[in-house]
Amino acid sequence: MKGIILHGGHGTRLRPLTHTGPKQLLPIANKPMSEYCLESLRDAGITDIAVIIGGIGSNKVEEYYGDGKNFGVKLSYIQQDSPKGIAHAVRLCKTFVGKEKFVVFLGDNIIQKNIHEYADDFKNSNNDASILLCEVDNPSQFGIAEIENEKIVKLVEKPKTPKTNLAVTGIYFLTPIIFDLIDILKPSWRDEYEIVDALQMLLDANKKIRYYVITDFWKDTGTPGDILQANKIILEKMETYFNGTKEEDVTIQGNVMIGEGTIIKNHSKIIGPVIIGKNCLIDDNVYIGPNTSIGDNSEISTCHIENSIIMSNCKINCNVKIKNSIIASHSKISKHNNEQDEKIFLLGEGTKIIL
């Protein structure tokens, strides 16, 4: 069985974070979100994987993953000239897939469950497709499945008045028959070729689609709030480690992960779950609170940070309480006065702010 990771799109809801690169490379707990997808496929025994790339900074995907050897997989890259929908991206993989069954994984989906059993079931079945469903609070934002007598009877993409709250997650188990249907697929009202429409055509042709309802954490990380929530959930489940150094008067509580070469100075407090990458400097009197990730080579001084993602190579030196923020790599924040206030930041790569 082969794998496909969709790594394209413009990520407009995440701007300015996506002005310089694809959203799927944005880190969650200091690891690109698409790496969780790759690991999920690899751990299910799927190691021959195509990555669909396109849009701004798509070269960064190849630079990060290379041929996949360092991640235990073999990667091929396929270019999508413009974001024309999931079905269009899947169709680009026809030659790569050949006659094998395959799994499509949206690169911005985070799932906290091993897909091994689903992959094995599909591999050994005569089903034409298999999909994972998950109950959601906002079903009009997703493809939705309608179920009768434990069978899918209808699939609708982003319905205005959804009949269920069972969302189609971004993980699809498919056979090559899907390519024939995509070839006759018409663009949706969004002018995209929808994979949900192709799956509906499978149903209309009386083909077999199996479904599973997952209850573990699953997240489509399309907005800053989604990313922060995913960051929180993953941090909570990580195993504590401390590979840096700290001075004597430092408080560390809860689930905290500290990378090599990181120094934590006097009177600082770190209240987990928190991850701090390699070669960081956490200066005197810094407070880093729950649900925070700080990337490699960052310097944090004076400030108070909670429920935020600070990416690599950032410098923050300001008497400010930073909450619910995402600050992209190589950003700098400084402040000239000592009056503390509270800020929420959503900063693109290389941003410089003086308060």
Residue ranges of domains in the chain: 2-234, 240-354
Task: Report the pLDDT averaged over residues 138-154.
Answer: 86
Task: Report the pLDDT averaged over residues 275-289.
Answer: 95
pLDDT band at 9 (very low <50, low <70, confident <90, very high): low
Residue-averaged pLDDT of the chain: 90
CB burial string 21-60: b at 16+ within 10 A, e below: bbbbbbbbbbebbbbbbbebbbebebbbbbbbbbbebbee
Give the span between the Cα atoms of 343 and 340, in whole angstroms.
10
pLDDT value of residue 347: 92
pLDDT at residue 11 is higher than 70? no
pLDDT value of residue 265: 95
Give the span between the Cα atoms of 123 and 118, in whole angstroms.
9
Give the span between the Cα atoms of 255 and 273, in whole angstroms.
5
Please state, in angstroms and as integers, the Cα–Cα distance from residue 31 to each residue in 90, 91, 207, 279, 296, following that order: 25, 29, 38, 16, 11
pLDDT value of residue 30: 96
More confident residue, 23 or 259: 259
pLDDT at residue 12 is higher than 70? no
pLDDT value of residue 120: 93
Least confident span in 96-110, 186-200, 260-274: 186-200
Q: ∠94-212-102 over CA atoms, to 5°?
A: 15
* SS3 of 249-292: CCEEECCEEECCCCEECCCCEEECCEEECCCCEECCCCEECCCE
pLDDT at residue 324 is higher than 80? yes
pLDDT at residue 257 is higher than 90? yes
pLDDT at residue 128 is higher than 80? yes
Topology of domain 2-234 in CATH is Spore Coat Polysaccharide Biosynthesis Protein SpsA; Chain A (3.90.550)
Convert the pLDDT of each residue in 63-86 to its tens digit. 999 999 999 999 999 998 877 888
pLDDT at residue 217 is higher than 80? no
Within 8 A by CB and 6+ apart from 180, the residues are none
Task: Report the pLDDT averaged over residues 320-341.
Answer: 87
pLDDT at residue 143 is higher than 90? no
Class in CATH terms, 240-354: mainly beta
Least confident span in 152-161, 165-174, 245-254: 152-161
The closest alpha carbon to 203, from 158, 162, 146, belongs to: 146
Give the span between the Cα atoms of 347 and 354, in whole angstroms.
13
pLDDT at residue 112 is higher than 80? no
pLDDT value of residue 136: 86
pLDDT at residue 340 is higher than 80? no
Three-state secondary structure call for residue 169:
strand
More confident residue, 119 or 192: 119
